[in-house]
Chain A
Amino acid sequence: MSPNALELKAVRKSFGNTEIIRGTDLAIPRGERHAVIGPNGAGKSTLFNLISGRFPVNSGAILLNGEDITGLKPFEINRKGLSRSFQITNLFYNLSVFENLRCAVLWSLGYRYSFWHRLNGLREPQRRAEEVMHRIGLTRRRNVAAGVLSYAEQRALEIGITIAGGAAAILLDEPTAGMNRSETAAAVELVRSVTEGKTLIMVEHDMGVVFDLADRISVLVYGEIIASGRPEEIRANPAVQEAYLGALHKEVAHA
């Protein structure tokens, strides 16, 4: 088996005439926590959409545990052990918090399309959903519809749905976006604990979070990875400072 959980080989993607991902190579070893950073519009979310099968690639290959998953449907990729969250919250809005999480564990527990099991008689899905609900701190909100949760609660549920199925590779697209300082700290701890022993790939704008969580960082600018390495290497890389960190620091200074 390949030592890499995920591998991208010369992946390209265009929307119309604009090439958004321009020949990306990336190899992420199993068990690594990897952050993808880059300015707005660099193509980070698009990269996630390609890996998770939401969009087809124009060329190149994507490998999960050494197996080619290019061109597979999202549900096929999910069944192979890759789960993702969304930058723009994407929940089952009319279902309760508990039902959202239970839906997220059903396939992985082998219940598939069963119409001969009584849901409330199934212990394991219930236990798993409740465990995740506890971890993301939403037990109090068990029976509340996802659509009426507060923003921070919805973000927590977004992460909960992603991790509930127990996938070995987890993609989180800006898990802390829009959170205040204490919410962010809680989210970081949550992400750290739930990805223990798993492979994590995360898009994140908050540099504190990135340097705190990531084993390695890749910097994506205009659809190209300009640098990849350990946090201190990235921090010291002049090209990165030029293209991204510098600009960001200026932004922060202005704000």
Chain B
Amino acid sequence: MAAGVLRYQPLNLARWIIWGGTAVLMAALPLVFTQGFAITVISQMGVAIIFTLSYNMLLGQSGMLSFGHAVYSGLGAYIAVHTLNLAAKGQFWMPVSLLPLVGGLAGAFFGVLFGYVTTKRAGTTFAMITLGIGELVGSCSLMFPDFFGGEGGITTNRVFGQPFLGITFGPAIQVYYLIALWCIASMALMYAWSHTPLGRMANAVRDNPERAEFVGYDTQKVRWLTLIISAFFAGIAGALTAINFEIVTAENVSAVRSGGVLLAAFIGGVGFFFGPIIGACVFVYFVVALSVHTKAWLLYLGLFFMLMVMFAPGGIASLIMMQVQLIARKRFGRIARHYLAAGASGLMVLAALILTVEMTYKISVDSATGTLMKLFGMEFDAAAGTAWAVAIGLWIVGGWLFNLACLRVARVWGEIQTEFVEGRA
């Protein structure tokens, strides 16, 4: 027993370092990225982290594939925005900093309501019913303009009343820190949830619902309770969105949002707790940051998602964990230079892709202003043969080198795995 206790010590220490580091990082980010746009991006990342983690409570932890998770964040956002407007009118006392709790409770309420229907079944049936509920709420948003605000949505002003300790939530940086606080609290709570009896039984129900029934658990209830808790955190994310943008529209409950969070979770990796955190950041980067630079951002996102599903179905998190395994067993050095080669040639392929896509966009969509364009700090004519020749050259040479490098990586990887197996035998 004593040995068992001792064995957990370093793990606990590592946990403190990871959580502490995350908190410090979140506090320090705005000091590094000081431009207004960067604050917008990291604020949205914070919200997306909460939303994607809450989604993965269903998908990764409990095996529930939902196509309608935006229902909970969106309705949470609506309730929050109405609450905010009433509080601003002086109907009751409600500080902005506690508004996410209102959103969370609203999300949980709709989780109780809709979850009762959706979680009756698991698997494909569950997925189909969530799709139906998503459509239902989506159509309601057009039918009840008083609540949903019709086309224009519901607007609000997060600055009202007397400032508290100088905090008005007027400046974006103050909103960022509010989001950061709620984000770290939500992350910690969701992590804690995964280590409770309900959290563990959710894993069991994911793996084998039938056996879970034969050890005394009503699988329907496990799914329902899990969904309610997940909807609570989704509602928190929704309320933070409302505070951040000061507007909530039908887009907040839409299938597009629901699809986005599925994408984000998958890209990050649903098999590890931290996967969705990475996925959320990557996703926001594509949607918010990349969309400023290129009209083709959706195409890049789609391509990236496709490549991930095809070649790394475990997401970025599983790729990381594979390297951690190599590092822990002191084999990383052997494969690192092959990674470097693959990375360098991969960049060539990426450049070829970007060149091709951007030139195509320039010619087909954006040619009204002429075919002159700027890319990688160079100015050239998208209609000229030389630019296309460069692109084709990059494709051929880069593709060939990349292919070679990947074969190398695969071979060395295989060798190392064989050594592991032999080492064990």
Contacts and interface: CB of A to CB of B under 8 A. Distances in A.
Interface of A: 52, 54, 73-75, 78-79, 83-84, 86, 90-95, 99, 102-104, 106-108, 111-120, 122, 161, 164-165
Interface in B208-258: 208, 210-219, 221-222, 225, 229
17 contacts: A52-B214, A54-B210, A75-B213, A75-B218, A78-B215, A79-B216, A103-B204, A107-B215, A111-B197, A113-B221, A113-B225, A114-B198, A115-B193, A115-B199, A120-B8, A120-B195, A161-B215
B56 interface: no
A104 B222 CA distance: 15
Contacts of A117: 196-197
Given A92-B208, A95-B207, A75 B196 contact: no
B203 interface: yes
A108 B216 contact: yes
Nearest to A162: B214
Given A118-B195, A119-B199, 18 more contacts: A75-B213, A75-B216, A75-B218, A92-B203, A93-B208, A94-B203, A94-B207, A103-B200, A107-B215, A107-B217, A113-B221, A114-B198, A115-B193, A115-B198, A119-B195, A119-B197, A161-B215, A165-B215
A115 B215 contact: no
A236 B199 CA distance: 54
**Residue picked from A95, A113, A165, most chain B C-beta under 10 Å:** A113
Given A78-B215, A161-B211, A113 B197 contact: yes
B201 interface: yes
A255 B221 CA distance: 49
Contacts of A104: 215
A112 B195 contact: no
B40 to A, nearest CB: 34
B31 interface: no
A91 B200 contact: no
Given A74-B214, A92-B207, A165-B216, A102 B222 contact: no
B6 interface: no
The main secondary structure of chain B at its interface with chain A is helix
B378 interface: no
A73 B192 contact: no
Contacts of A112: 197
Contact of B211 (A91, A111, A116, A118): A91
Interface of B: 8, 192-193, 195-201, 203-204, 206-208, 210-219, 221-222, 225, 229
A169 to B, nearest CB: 13
Nearest to A114: B197
Nearest to A118: B195
Contact of B200 (A74, A84, A90, A102): A102
A165 B216 CA distance: 9
Contacts of B197: 106, 111-115, 117, 119, 122
A88 B370 CA distance: 69
A97 B211 CA distance: 15
Contacts of B217: 75, 107
Contacts of A91: 207-208, 211
A92 B193 CA distance: 19
Contact of B216 (A94, A107, A118, A119): A107
Contacts of B196: 114-119
B275 to A, nearest CB: 15
Contacts of A93: 207-208
A113 B201 contact: yes
Contacts of B8: 120
B203 A95 contact: yes
A108 B214 CA distance: 12
A92 B214 contact: no
Contact of B204 (A83, A92, A108, A120): A92
A103 B215 contact: yes
A1 B158 CA distance: 67
A161 B212 CA distance: 10
A242 to B, nearest CB: 36
Nearest to A107: B216
A91 B214 CA distance: 11
Contacts of A74: 213-214
B229 A115 contact: yes
Nearest to B208: A92
B266 to A, nearest CB: 18
Nearest to A125: B197
A78 B196 CA distance: 22
Nearest to A89: B211
A251 B231 CA distance: 59
Nearest to B210: A90
Contact of A92 (B195, B198, B211, B221): B211
Nearest to B192: A118
Contacts of B193: 115
A117 B197 CA distance: 7
B222 A113 contact: yes
Contacts of B192: 118
Contacts of A118: 192, 195-196
A90 B211 contact: yes
A78 B211 CA distance: 11
Nearest to B225: A113
Nearest to A80: B216
Contacts of A111: 197
Contacts of A52: 214
Nearest to A109: B197
A102 B197 CA distance: 9
B191 to A, nearest CB: 11
Contacts of B203: 92, 94-95, 99
A119 B203 CA distance: 13
Contacts of A78: 213-216
A159 to B, nearest CB: 13
Nearest to B63: A94
Rank and list the top 4 A-B pairs by shortest CB-CB distance, nearest first: A107-B216, A92-B207, A74-B213, A115-B198
